[in-house]
């Protein structure tokens, strides 16, 4: 990430900012960050929450850094079902198509940033949508047709 002089990779800086900005709300909602070094080395950070056994839900951040200093991330929502099927949808697609909220510009939205300040702002924006739409959708308390 341009403008940061933190030790380690851009993925390490992303994880640090992710935990600083929205780690506490995830923890308060019963999610934990999955510790998977192979995923983290590829920019994938997944918060998971167990529901009634064997069901679970997760919110995953996929971060992509670029040589010119630009970084971007996308958010994916996943849940298991009683018949062992995995359902996945991007947060942008759920908000755009499921709830007809067009503030992101498209169902293929990626949050972009160049500086730590821009990353923090993008994570706050994504976090608001995660907790307003994504988590209630995953937990079953909010359906796209109930808004």
Residue 145 has pLDDT above 80, yes or no: no
| Within a domain: 1 | no
Cα-Cα-Cα-Cα dihedral of 129, 5, 27, 46, to 10°? 70
Range of the domain at 115: 10-139
Number of compact structural domains in the chain? 1
Give domain status of residue 90, yes or no.
yes
**Which pLDDT does position 146 carry in this prediction?**
54
- pTM here is 0.89
At a CB cut-off of 8 Å and minimum separation 6, what does 21 contact?
A: 120, 123, 124, 127
Q: Which helix (H) or strand (E) is 120 found in, with range?
A: helix 116-129
Domain annotation covers residue 3:
no
In a domain, 96, yes or no: yes
How many residues are recorded in the chain? 147
**pLDDT tens column, 79-109:** 987 777 789 999 999 999 999 988 888 999 9
Whether residue 26 lies inside any domain: the answer is yes
Contact 106, 90 (CB under 8 A): no
Band of residue 6 on the pLDDT scale cut at 50, 70, 90: very low
In a domain, 92, yes or no: yes
pLDDT value at 4 more than 80? no
């Amino acid at each position: 990430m341009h403008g940061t002089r933190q030790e380690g990779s851009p993925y390490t800086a992303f994880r640090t900012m992710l935990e600083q900005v929205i780690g506490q709300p995830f923890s308060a909602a019963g999610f934990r960050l999955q510790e998977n070094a192979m995923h983290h080395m590829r920019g994938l950070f997944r918060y998971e929450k167990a529901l009634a056994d064997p069901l679970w839900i997760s919110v995953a951040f996929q971060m992509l850094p670029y040589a010119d200093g630009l970084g971007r991330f996308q958010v994916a929502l996943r849940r298991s079902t009683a018949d062992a099927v995995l359902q996945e949808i991007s947060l942008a697609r759920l908000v755009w198509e499921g709830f007809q909220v067009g503030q992101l510009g498209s169902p293929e939205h990626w949050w972009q940033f160049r500086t730590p300040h821009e990353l923090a702002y993008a994570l706050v924006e994504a976090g608001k949508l995660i907790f307003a739409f994504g988590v209630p959708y995953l937990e079953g308390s909010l359906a796209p047709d109930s808004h």
